[in-house]
């Protein structure tokens, strides 16, 4: 985001449900039936997937139709440009060439990393409310075209590699899926008037009057808007040295935040993770694969890896990375409770 003074800030968006964060536990999501106690065979069938596969979609629609509109608190985390180097989870200085050139990799742009709220608190902006359902599913849902490259003044693009890839791929996919004039479909059409020289193409919806679709023209009509560098959406990003397609080593650091996440969970949440990993890993036939997963888990937490190994009759790991034991109060679902208990 860019403020009026032209100062750029790195921003993460958060949408926190006002009724709290909830999940289905396994007893609700799975039905366990013992056919024969002597053989201890287990037949697993998903309760909700079998009986009501559209549970979440139906629950959302019914809430809206009954007037108990779902609401999310909209919050942002903000790191001003120039202050991103204050955090030990993101700064790397990597020399590229023998010359006096260098490259700074901001792994705060790694989408798999979180910004610890203890260090970068969330700022409440407003709320998002869903207060109506669509009138027609196909034209409003199937044909909608969200595009990360469509931004408003004050919002620009970081060097997040995931975002940069989507800025190209979303637009390219929509041209293929919906045609070159996808932006003229009712669900995608801008509310404000759009004035440009775009013409023709398959499934063109608008009829443009006049015969001028170029500039300059002999009629001196519709001169292009004069570009004002003080009103640009993009920010003139400073580049020191070489700018290239490169990811710093911090993008390859996979365990410190996994440790932070696991350490921050309530005990029953940790047990849910142990149960889930054990259940899925128990289906794997290749013992080498099982052991590799256990070794990876030991780099997060030795107790976690040992319990999973015991459950799947794997070999208990001996060596492990030292868990830094740091925790954050913001990573457990226990924190996200409704402010007011309500039947909604």
The lowest-confidence range among 121-135, 247-261, 296-310 is 247-261
pLDDT category of residue 105 using cuts at 50, 70 and 90? very low
Instruction: Report the SS3 class of residue 83.
Output: coil
The C-alpha angle 66, 70, 74, rounded to 5 degrees, equals 160
| The two structure tokens encoding residue 286 | 């290749």
291 — pLDDT class (breaks 50, 70, 90) = very high
* Three-state DSSP class for residue 236: coil
What distance in Å separates the CA atoms of residue 328 and residue 58, rounded to the nearest whole number?
Answer: 34
Bigger pLDDT: 49 or 176? 176
| Token pair recorded at residue 1 | 């985001």
C-alpha 181: how far from chain center: 28
Q: Which domains does the chain have, with CATH numbers?
A: 135-211 (no CATH), 252-344 (1.20.1370.20)
Is 301 within 8 Å of 259 (Cβ atoms)? yes
pLDDT digits 0-9 by tens, 318-340: 877 788 898 998 999 998 888 88
Confidence of residue 122 (pLDDT cuts 50, 70, 90): very high
How many angstroms separate the CA atoms of 329 and 116, rounded? 10
User: What is the three-class DSSP state of 132?
Assistant: coil
DSSP track, 20-43: ------HHHHEEEEES-TTTT-EE
Closest Cα to residue 21, out of 63, 72, 57, 67?
72
CA distance 269 to 294: 19
């Amino acid at each position: 985001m860019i403020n009026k003074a032209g100062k750029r800030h790195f921003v993460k968006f958060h949408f926190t449900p006002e009724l709290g964060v909830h999940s289905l536990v396994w007893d609700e999501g799975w039905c366990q039936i013992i056919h024969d106690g002597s053989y201890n065979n287990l037949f697993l069938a998903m309760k909700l997937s079998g009986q009501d596969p559209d549970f979440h979609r139906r629950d959302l629609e019914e809430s809206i139709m009954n007037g108990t509109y779902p609401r999310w608190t909209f919050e942002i985390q903000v790191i001003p440009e120039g202050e991103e180097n204050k955090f030990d989870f993101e700064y790397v200085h990597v020399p590229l060439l023998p010359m006096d050139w260098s490259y700074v990799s901001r792994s705060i742009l790694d989408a798999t990393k979180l910004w610890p709220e203890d260090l970068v608190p969330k700022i409440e902006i407003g709320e998002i409310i869903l207060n109506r359902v669509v009138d027609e599913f196909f034209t409003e849902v199937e044909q909608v075209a969200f595009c990360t490259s469509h931004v408003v003044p004050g919002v620009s693009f970081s060097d997040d590699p995931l975002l940069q890839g989507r800025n190209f791929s979303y637009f390219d996919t929509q041209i293929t899926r919906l045609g070159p004039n996808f932006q003229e479909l009712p669900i995608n059409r801008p509310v404000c008037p759009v004035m440009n020289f775009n013409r023709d193409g398959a499934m063109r919806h608008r009829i443009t009057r006049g015969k001028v679709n170029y500039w300059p023209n002999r009629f001196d009509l519709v001169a292009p808007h004069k570009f004002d560098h003080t009103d640009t959406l993009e920010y003139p990003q400073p580049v020191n040295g070489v700018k290239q397609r490169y990811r710093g080593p911090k993008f390859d650091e996979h365990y410190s935040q996994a440790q932070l996440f696991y350490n921050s969970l309530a005990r029953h949440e940790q047990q849910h993770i142990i149960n889930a990993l054990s259940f899925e890993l128990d289906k794997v036939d290749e013992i080498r694969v099982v052991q590799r997963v256990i070794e990876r888990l030991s780099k997060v937490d030795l107790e976690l890896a040992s319990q999973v190994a015991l459950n799947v009759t794997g070999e208990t790991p001996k060596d492990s990375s030292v868990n830094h034991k740091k925790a954050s109060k913001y990573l457990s679902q226990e924190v996200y409770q409704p402010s007011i208990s309500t039947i909604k």
